[in-house]
């Protein structure tokens, strides 16, 4: 439940951004941009303090293995990006990369800043030694932790497109792509799901041959983080929650702003908690296909494909554990 409390400032910022967008006055936009600039400046100053002040002068939480220099650089980069996003000329320049971006929209401005946070978080997650640190740490998330994280994604997606502020239910569903799929769309989604399960198996086998040490380390981390999810219903909940939360946020809310390829890059970057690996390529390819599905069909089909893919991988992992126990 801690993640829900930590996300409250984000929810508040999203609601404020939507209210500013709905009001659409120069004064409200200016106040929002100034607030974003000020918050980003604080992050930037925090990065400077972490980088240049003596370590003994700062009261930092005990986080073994954390690279303070990398953390400082990350804070500096996130703060600088947030300050740049608050500037109208910068946003107008980014329209060339993202044609659907509305430079005067506070919601789109906040989305740009949030992308910088995701990239910064990925930079720390992918740092050398992080994989080993996580494996040795032995921290096991509970089903409540995972569901809470995905609930944050769902709520962020709905609030981001105007829930409670700018849109009613029908308009919300249209904006997020939550439409009833046809049989043809479901059949196409099923075939893509089977293909990606096969692709995941091929990439995993090739990775184990080319870099067995890293593959073994990632396998140990997966066992550490997911080892307590050992029933079919738990994997069903995990798969359904990830499919719903991630698709609503990335494909439903963000893709119409940034496009398929940039959103897929953001999606892949947000999944590098294990470091950059062949799995990252798989995630990127999966995201591109899900983006195409969202564009040609709707987000509902993308949710089903994503959830089905995750659930199938979970069932295969359970089957592997069962067979190993049976053989032993």
pLDDT digits (tens, 9 = 90+) for 75-122: 999 999 999 999 999 999 999 999 999 999 999 999 999 988 888 877
- DSSP structural state of residue 53: S
Least confident of 7-16, 30-39, 115-124: 115-124
The answer to whether residue 40 is domain-embedded is yes
The answer to whether residue 131 is domain-embedded is no
SS3 assignment, position 163:
strand
Output the CA angle 70-71-76, nearest 5 degrees. Answer: 95
Residues 246-299 pLDDT 10s:
999 999 999 999 999 999 999 988 877 656 667 788 889 999 999 999 999 999
Please tell me the predicted confidence (pLDDT) of residue 181: 94
Total domains, the chain = 2
Q: Which residue has the tokens 């599905």?
A: 293
The answer to whether residue 51 is domain-embedded is yes
Q: How far apart are CA 18 and CA 30, in angstroms?
A: 14
> Do 114 and 163 fall within a single domain?
no
Range of the domain at 49: 1-125
The answer to whether residue 133 is domain-embedded is no
Q: How far apart are CA 295 and CA 255, in angstroms?
A: 9
> Do 239 and 266 fall within a single domain?
yes
> Do 120 and 263 fall within a single domain?
no
> Do 62 and 206 fall within a single domain?
no
User: Domain end: 78, 97, 125, which one?
Assistant: 125
> Do 56 and 104 fall within a single domain?
yes
> Do 154 and 256 fall within a single domain?
yes
Return the bridge partners of 167, or none: 163
> Do 113 and 38 fall within a single domain?
yes
With a cut of 60, say whether residue 182 has pLDDT above it: yes
Please tell me the predicted confidence (pLDDT) of residue 87: 96
Shortest CA distance to 309 belongs to which of 317, 175, 59? 317
> Do 270 and 168 fall within a single domain?
yes
The answer to whether residue 134 is domain-embedded is no
Q: Which residue has the tokens 């100053």?
A: 45
- DSSP structural state of residue 231: S
User: Domain end: 85, 102, 125, which one?
Assistant: 125
DSSP labels, 61-76: ---TT--HHHHHHHHH
With a cut of 50, say whether residue 65 has pLDDT above it: yes
B/e letters for 238-275, b = 16+ CB within 10 Å, e = fewer, are bbbbbbbbbbbbbbbbbbbbbbbebbbbbbbbbbbebb
- pLDDT higher at 117 or 34: 34
Q: Does an H or E element contain 121, and which?
A: helix 106-125
SS3 assignment, position 167:
strand
The answer to whether residue 132 is domain-embedded is no
The answer to whether residue 135 is domain-embedded is no
- pLDDT higher at 40 or 328: 40
The answer to whether residue 130 is domain-embedded is no
Where do runs of H (alpha helix) occur along 143-296? 143-160, 169-176, 183-210, 212-226, 232-246, 255-258, 260-269, 278-296
> Do 295 and 322 fall within a single domain?
yes
pTM for the complete prediction? 0.88
> Do 148 and 121 fall within a single domain?
no
With a cut of 50, say whether residue 221 has pLDDT above it: no
> Do 89 and 154 fall within a single domain?
no
User: Domain end: 125, 154, 178, which one?
Assistant: 125
Please state, rounded to an integer, the average pLDDT across all residues of the chain: 85
Q: From residue 92, give the alpha-carbon distance in Å to each of 21, 38, 52, 124, 264.
A: 17, 20, 34, 30, 22
Q: How far apart are CA 135 and CA 125, in angstroms?
A: 13
> Do 81 and 190 fall within a single domain?
no
């Amino acid at each position: 439940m801690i993640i829900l409390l930590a996300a409250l400032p984000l929810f508040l910022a999203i609601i404020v951004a939507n209210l500013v967008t709905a009001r659409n006055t120069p004064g409200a936009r200016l106040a929002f941009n100034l607030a974003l600039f000020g918050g980003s400046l604080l992050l930037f100053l925090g990065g400077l303090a972490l980088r240049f002040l003596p370590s003994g002068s700062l009261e930092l939480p005990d986080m073994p293995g954390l690279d303070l220099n990398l953390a400082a650089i990350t804070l500096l980069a996130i703060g600088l990006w947030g300050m740049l996003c608050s500037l109208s000329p910068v946003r107008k320049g980014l329209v060339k990369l993202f044609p659907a971006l509305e430079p005067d929209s506070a919601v789109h401005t906040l989305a740009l800043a949030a992308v910088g946070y995701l990239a910064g978080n990925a930079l720390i997650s992918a740092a050398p030694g992080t994989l080993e640190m996580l494996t040795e740490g032995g921290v096991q998330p509970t089903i409540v932790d995972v569901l809470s994280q995905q609930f944050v994604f769902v709520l962020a997606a709905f609030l981001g497109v105007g829930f409670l502020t700018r849109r009613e239910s029908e308009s919300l569903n249209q904006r997020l792509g939550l439409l009833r799929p046809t049989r043809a769309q479901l059949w196409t989604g099923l075939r893509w799901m089977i293909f990606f399960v096969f692709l995941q198996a091929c990439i995993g086998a090739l990775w184990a041959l080319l870099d067995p040490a890293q593959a073994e380390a990632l396998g140990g981390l997966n066992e550490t983080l997911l080892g307590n999810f050992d029933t079919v219903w738990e994997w069903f909940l995990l798969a359904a929650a990830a499919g719903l939360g991630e698709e609503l946020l990335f494909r439903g809310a963000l893709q119409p702003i940034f496009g398929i390829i940039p959103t897929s890059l953001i999606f892949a970057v947000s999944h590098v908690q294990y470091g950059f690996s062949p799995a990252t390529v798989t995630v990127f390819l999966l995201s591109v296909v899900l983006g195409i599905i969202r564009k040609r069909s709707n987000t509902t089909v993308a949710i089903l494909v994503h959830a089905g893919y995750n659930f199938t991988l979970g069932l295969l992992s359970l089957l592997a554990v069962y067979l190993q126990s049976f053989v032993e």
